[in-house]
Amino acid sequence: MSMKDENKVSRRRVIGGLGASLASVVVSPAFAAPGAQQAGYAGTKELTDPTTKYPRPPFKSQLQPWPGLTSKMEPRPDHGETSYKGSGRLMGRKALITGGDSGLGRATAIAYAREGADVAINYLPVEEPDAREVVDLIKKAGRKAVAIPGDIREEAFCKKLVAEAVRGLGGLDILVSNAARQRTNESILDITTDEFDWTMKTNIYAPFWIIKASLPHLKPGSSIIGTTSVQAYNPSADLYDYAQTQAATMNFVKSLAKQLGPKGIRVNGVAPGPIWTPLEVSGGVPQDKLVSFGGDTPIGRPGQPAELASIFVQLAASDASYATGQIYGSAGGSGQP
């Protein structure tokens, strides 16, 4: 064989060997993206059918005095107490969550703590039993927990709330405006001025006061997250006042995102559909509708707070740095956006 022929053979061997090496890189699990699951390897999880993952209607008729307690609901909601596993996505962050004792606020508090954040929660004094459970779960995650009971319908308390959160956490870089009042009324004629004012103060005035008090503490990279609802897009006839406030929340998110974007502060919202929380069993849904609650969604059941926790984590995490002014829906297929 001539020298020229030997060179051709050598080149074919090198190129062939390189191709084989590249192929091994493509298929080798060692080069998979961090956290990726490989089929057939340890840690792989089976698919879960969302239609049967949690309880479906019919539910037991049950009515609690407003604002209701998680501990007295049947079935008891899942907030991720035993299921949420963190991965350090919010390590060292400092979060204030209103309505942090139950529902989406509770699920968010648990998730944030397990992702490495210190957490302050606000709630009404009558919700202390639920709040104590949340505080214990935050501490078990190895994070600092600050409990601040009080009524956010009062401007003075809202200012105090932020000051105590900042002092207790050593700063603030995540604000979750989640607390809300929801009461069903068949007719506008059934809503008194005092009740209307209660809903507006809780759902619209309080976020205004709390955000104003928080802004001097929020540095570039901080996040504000508002909990709105499908009621902002598709209001129910019997939630006249509540639906208005959810539309207002959606719009404060979009407006404030434009205002604070240049300062490096992101503002986003989460719009749940029917979620199994104390709001529903304390007058937020008529008893005849409570029995079938969530059954008209394509998934066929209401959502559980735990199913939305990861959305709140994503919106607060630094790897979502280009998301602002967005509303993220989670409504079992029945809602917008």
Q: Which two tokens stand for residue 56?
A: 């479906």
Q: Which residue has the tokens 């840690």?
A: 43
For residue 316, the surrounding DSSP H or E stretch is: helix 309-316
First-to-last CA distance in the chain?
71
Greater confidence (23 vs 246) lies with: 246
**Which class in CATH covers the domain with range 91-330?**
alpha beta
pLDDT at 232: 96
What is the reported pTM?
Answer: 0.87
Residue-wise pLDDT tens digits, 73-91: 999 999 999 999 999 999 9
**pLDDT, tens digit, 9 for 90 and up, residues 316-328:** 999 999 999 999 9
154-185 pLDDT, tens digit per residue, is 999 999 999 999 999 999 999 999 999 999 99
Counting every residue written for the chain, the total comes to 337
Confidence at 42, pLDDT banded by 50, 70, 90:
low
Hey, what are 103's tokens? 């529902």
pLDDT per residue as tens digits for the range 234-248: 999 999 999 999 999
| The predicted structure's pLDDT at residue 16 | 45
Residues belonging to the active site: 242
Task: Name the pLDDT band for 43 (thresholds 50, 70, 90).
Answer: low
Percent of the chain topping pLDDT 70: 87
Residue 274 has pLDDT above 70, yes or no: yes
Q: How confident is the model at residue 21 (pLDDT cuts 50, 70, 90)?
A: very low
Distance in angstroms (rounded) separating the CA atoms of residues 200 and 198: 6
pLDDT at 44 over 90: no
Q: Is residue 73 within 8 Å of 97, Cβ to Cβ? A: no
- 99: tokens are 């309505």
Domain boundaries, the chain: 91-330
In angstroms, the CA 235 to CA 230 distance is 7
Q: How far apart are CA 268 and CA 249, in angstroms?
A: 10
Identify the burial level of 151 via C-beta atoms within 10 angstroms of its C-beta, where 0-12 means exposed, 13-18 middle and 19 or more buried. middle
Q: What is the mean pLDDT of residues 65-70?
A: 95
Whole-number Cα distances in Å, 93 to 141, 153, 223, 229: 14, 27, 10, 26
pLDDT mean over 195-210: 98
pLDDT at 337: 76
Proportion of the chain above pLDDT 90, given as a percent: 85
Per 3-state DSSP, the chain is made up of helix, strand and coil in percentages (nearest 5) of: 45, 10, 45
Rounded Cα distance, 96 and 119, in Å: 6
